[in-house]
């Protein structure tokens, strides 16, 4: 949904273009240079004056926007809803502007259109709106019209789901149940935080999705909000370590492990924050949680940040550029230029994301023991039970050391983990810990909770260690080529699962693209084989497409082929899962292997 809006429609978001660092605290001023302090104080004074002046114009604009809505003028209902959210409004003051000359002064670090990208193009911004049970969206016709196609099938699914689970949405209590179980992921509701709980009341629609702070703020500490902004580059905030920034409340999302940690809380689950889709919810209609590949997901969002390479380039004029990256990546200053130049960041994100995803799913299982979710089918691989019974069955091709007929741990992390483990030196014990856990789970269906918990913790620790090692390893052209090779040699066993195959194909395509972008392109024939792997389409029954953008949903009908009923993404995906044939992928993989050898 790429619409353009007039300033009037955008309301206050368009207003604060001129506001520059109004809250820059005196305490953080460099004490050594008094003349700088004077200039800074002057800037602050000017800013305050500007704010005061603008404050008067801001109010009418806001009212104007409301009036526009009431009179039925077309507007972006999502922006309007977020516009009433004070926290997001605050972020928008700086991050909802683009191309403003005055503001450009501080764009070495960021682009200042982050909120715009998020609110206009990112589906996370409407994730609550998408599942608001239909009867609860108490809107008049005009507003419904404004929301338009943002309401649809997913709201009905959610409504039925609440009915099945016994949430009485007519009451505040029923809505609170919905909030506690659904809005933790769908709107960032945190049961451990009380300050923002008003946003998640039944009548409040000012938090229609994931807000800026849901990701960027850790806990309730908000000191960082005042600390992080500012025009000048050379401020102490810039060179604070991620840990120090976290202490002020800014969540560290600089490097892949922490990004993956954040994403996987929702995309895999986290008992601590009540983010867990139970099997009961799935049965009631929640679509199956797809496999998660960090880099692919991040590039589909679309990203509202600069990656390492482009930040490094844009900070060319910044005298402390090396220190900045050194402190964030925990590597020596002198290595920075080479590391920034040579590292294959996307490949690195791919591998680190895979490690974190595996750790998160193991941790989810380990925590389930104490959360009375032990044995919840949702913790296991869907396809281990949900498949058509048939003979011959490719599932019977599994290695003989596994007991047939048992619920299996999610299989999709396996191929990428195996590759990541090949790159680590020295071995962190993941293999042994994983083998141990699998054999315990093989002993009896679901495994013995006590033993499995212990083994899962050991594995989780090993994965953590391994992840840290991998962070320090250099992932450069040589390793990237090795990754492609290892992925192409993924064992037949690991490709028995649809999602595992999809992860593998995503990974191969991604590394191939990065190799090409960095001038290390693989041979044309190899690239052709990789391309074919991704475009097997209906033949292979694996799709690497994801519904993208704010308008893309699981339920949006895909492009209809003539003569056939258009299928939604989800329906098509379920059909592909059903018809998946590992042999076709294997054949293609072997073809790729011969190209690589």
Partner 1 sequence: MLGLPLSRTSIRLREMSLPTTILVSRQPLFQKMMLTHFRLAIAFSLVSIVTVRSAEPDRQPIDKPACLQITSAQDSSWRISRVWLEEMSQPVRRQDLSIEPSASCAATSCHGGPRPGIAEPLAVRGAEYPLWLENDPHAQSWRTLCSPTSLAMLERLNIMQSGKLVNAIAFDNCLACHNSTGGYEAASKLNHSKLNHSELNHSVFNAEGVGCANCHGRSQNWRSDHYRLQRDNASNAAIGLAPNKDLFVRARVCAACHIGDSDRDMNHDIIAAGHPALHYEFTTFHNMLPKHWRESERSATPDFEAKLWLAGQVAALDASLALLESRAAKSLSVGTWPEFAASDCSSCHQNLRIGARKYEADARGSANTFSTWNRFGVEQLLSQGFTQGNETPTTQKIALSLDHLSKLMSAGAIPEAAAVQVAAHNARIDLDAWLRHSASPEMLRFSASSLHRVAAIALADRDKLNSWEFTAQTYLAVIAARSSWMNSADTTALSDASQLRRALLFKPFTHSISLLDDPKREIQSATANLLKSLQPTANVQSPRDKTNSKSLRGEVEVLPPPALPSFPN
Is residue 425 near partner 1 by the rule CB under 8 A?
A: no
Interface residue with partner 1, options 403, 516, 517, 521 (CB under 8 A): 403
DSSP-derived letter for residue 568 is B
Contact between 446 and partner 1 by CB under 8 A: the answer reads yes
Which CB sits closer to partner 1, 405 or 426?
Answer: 405
Cα 252 from Cα 296, distance rounded (Å): 20
Under rule CB under 8 A, residue 574 binds partner 1? yes
Would you count residue 406 as binding partner 1 (CB under 8 A)? yes
The helix/strand/coil state of 217 is: strand
Shortest distance, position 541 Cβ to partner 1, whole Å: 7
Interacting residues with partner 1 between 534 and 553 (CB under 8 A): 538, 541
Cβ closest to partner 1, residue 165 vs residue 511: 165
Q: Which residues, in sequence order, are CB contacts of 31 under 8 Å at separation 6+?
A: 37
What is the DSSP secondary structure assignment for residue 238, as one 8-state letter? G
| Residue number, 532 or 568, with CB nearest to partner 1 | 568
Q: Of 148, 208, 385, which Cα lies nearest the Cα of 288?
A: 385
For position 284 contacting partner 1 by CB under 8 A, the verdict is: yes
Tell me how far, at minimum, the Cβ of 446 lies from partner 1, in Å. Answer: 6
The only residue of 55, 450, 575, 594 in contact with partner 1, by rule CB under 8 A = 575
One residue of 141, 149, 316, 388 binding partner 1 per CB under 8 A: 388
Among 571, 586, 593, 596, binds partner 1 (CB under 8 A): 571
Q: Which residue shows structure tokens 């498949």?
A: 387
The number of residues that bind partner 1 (CB under 8 A) is 47
User: What separation in angstroms does the CA of 483 have from each of 457, 504, 509?
Assistant: 28, 11, 11
Q: Which is nearer to partner 1, 31 or 564 (CB)?
A: 564
Nearer to partner 1, 60 or 445 (CB): 445
Neighbours of 249 (CB within 10 A): 20
Single out the segment in contact with partner 1 by CB under 8 A; choices: 118-126, 136-144, 218-226, 572-580.
Answer: 572-580
**Residue 444 touches partner 1, criterion: CB under 8 A:** yes
Nearer residue to partner 1 within complex by CB, 223 or 386: 386
Kindly tell me which of 197 and 439 has the beta carbon lying closer to partner 1.
Answer: 439
Q: Measured between alpha carbons, how far is 398 from 417 in angstroms, rounded to an integer?
A: 19
Question: Which of 45, 283, 330, 521 is the binder for partner 1 (CB under 8 A)?
Answer: 283
Which residue, 265 or 384, has its beta carbon nearer to partner 1?
Answer: 384
Q: From CA 430, how far away is CA 452, in angstroms rounded?
A: 15
Name the residue nearer to partner 1 (CB basis): 53 or 579.
Answer: 579
Nearest to 183 by CA among 136, 114, 118: 136
Give the residues across from 302 on adjacent strands: none
Given its phi and psi angles, is residue 112 left (phi above 0), alpha (psi -120 to 50 degrees) or beta? Answer: left
Interface with partner 1, residue 55, by CB under 8 A? no
Whether residue 392 has a cis bond before it, omega within 30° of 0: yes
Quote the CA–CA distance of 155 and 131 in Å, as a whole number. 5
Task: By CB under 8 A, tell whether 377 contacts partner 1.
Answer: yes
Of residues 357-376, which lie at the interface with partner 1 (CB under 8 A)?
374-376
The answer to whether residue 189 forms part of the interface with partner 1 (CB under 8 A) is no
492 binds partner 1 (CB under 8 A): no
Show Cβ contacts of residue 38 under 8 Å, excluding neighbours closer than 6 positions. none
What is the DSSP-derived secondary structure letter of residue 181?
I
Query: What CA dihedral angle connects 561, 567, 569 and 573, to 10 degrees?
Result: -100
Lookup: tokens for 404: 């047939």
Residue 403 has which token pair? Answer: 């007991």
Q: Which of 35, 401, 426, 559 binds partner 1 (CB under 8 A)?
A: 401
Return the residue of 180, 492, 581, 591 that touches partner 1, per CB under 8 A: 581
Among left, alpha and beta (phi > 0; psi -120 to 50; other), residue 201 is: beta
3-state SS string over 194-244?
CCCHHHHCCCCCCCCCCCHHHHHECCCCCHHHHHHCCCCCCCHHHHCCHHH
Short-list 60, 56, 81, CA closest to 69: 81
Tell me the closest approach of the beta carbon of residue 400 to partner 1, in angstroms.
6
- Give me the residues that bind partner 1 (CB under 8 A), please: 164-166, 278-280, 283-284, 288, 374-377, 382, 385-391, 393, 395-396, 398, 400-401, 403-406, 444-446, 538, 541, 564, 568, 570-571, 574-579, 581
């Amino acid at each position: 949904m790429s619409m353009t809006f007039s300033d009037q429609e955008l309301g206050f978001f368009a207003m604060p273009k001129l506001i520059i660092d109004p809250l820059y605290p005196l305490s953080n001023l460099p004490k050594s240079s008094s003349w700088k302090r004077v200039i800074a104080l002057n800037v602050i004074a000017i800013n305050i004056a500007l704010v005061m002046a603008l404050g008067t114009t801001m109010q009418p604009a806001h009212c104007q926007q409301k009036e526009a809505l009431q009179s039925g003028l077309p507007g972006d209902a999502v922006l309007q809803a977020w516009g009433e959210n004070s926290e997001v409004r605050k972020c928008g003051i700086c991050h909802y502007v683009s191309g403003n000359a005055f503001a450009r002064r501080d764009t070495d670090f960021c682009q200042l259109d982050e909120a715009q990208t998020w609110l206009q193009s990112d589906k996370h911004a409407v994730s609550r709106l998408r599942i608001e049970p239909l009867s609860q969206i108490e809107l008049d016709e005009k507003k419904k019209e404004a929301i338009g196609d943002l309401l649809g099938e997913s709201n009905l699914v959610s409504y039925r789901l609440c009915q099945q689970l016994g949430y009485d949405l007519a009451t505040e209590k029923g809505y609170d149940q919905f909030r506690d179980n659904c809005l933790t992921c769908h709107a960032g509701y945190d049961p451990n935080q009380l300050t923002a709980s008003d946003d998640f009341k039944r009548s409040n629609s000012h938090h229609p999705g994931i807000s800026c702070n849901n990701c960027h703020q850790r806990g309730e500490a908000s000191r960082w909000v005042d600390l992080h902004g500012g025009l000048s580059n050379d401020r102490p905030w810039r060179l604070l370590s991620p840990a120090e920034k976290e202490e002020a409340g800014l969540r560290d999302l600089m490097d892949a492990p922490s990004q993956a940690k954040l994403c996987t809380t929702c995309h895999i689950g986290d008992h601590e924050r009540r983010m867990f889709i139970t099997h009961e919810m799935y049965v009631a209609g929640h679509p199956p949680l797809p496999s998660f590949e960090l880099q692919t997901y991040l590039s589909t969002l679309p990203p509202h940040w600069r990656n390492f390479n482009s930040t490094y380039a844009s900070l060319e004029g910044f005298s402390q550029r090396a220190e900045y990256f050194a402190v964030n990546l925990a590597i020596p200053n002198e290595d920075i230029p080479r590391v920034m130049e040579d590292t294959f960041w996307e490949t690195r994100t791919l591998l680190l994301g895979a490690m974190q995803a595996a750790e998160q799913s193991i941790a989810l299982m380990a925590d389930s023991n104490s959360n009375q979710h032990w044995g919840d089918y949702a913790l296991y691989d869907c396809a281990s039970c949900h498949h058509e019974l048939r003979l011959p069955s490719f599932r019977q091709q599994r290695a003989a050391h596994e007991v047939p007929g048992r619920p299996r741990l999610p299989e999709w992390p396996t191929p990428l983990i195996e590759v990541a483990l090949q790159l680590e030196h020295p071995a962190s014990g993941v293999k042994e810990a994983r083998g141990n856990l699998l054999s315990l789970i093989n002993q009896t269906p679901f495994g013995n909770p006590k033993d499995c918990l212990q083994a899962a913790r050991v594995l989780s620790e090993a994965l953590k260690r391994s992840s840290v090692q991998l962070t320090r390893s250099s992932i450069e052209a040589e390793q990237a080529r090795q990754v492609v090779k290892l992925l192409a040699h993924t064992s037949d066993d690991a490709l028995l699962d649809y999602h595992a195959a999809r992860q593998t194909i995503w990974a191969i395509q991604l590394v191939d693209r990065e190799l090409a972008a960095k001038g290390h392109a693989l041979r044309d024939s190899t690239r052709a084989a990789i391309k074919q792997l991704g475009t097997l389409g209906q033949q292979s029954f694996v799709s690497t497409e994801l519904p993208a953008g704010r308008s893309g949903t699981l339920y949006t009908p895909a492009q209809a082929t003539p003569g056939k009923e258009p299928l939604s993404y989800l329906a098509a995906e379920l059909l592909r899962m059903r018809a998946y044939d590992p042999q076709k992928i294997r054949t293609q993989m072997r073809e790729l292997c011969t190209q690589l050898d």
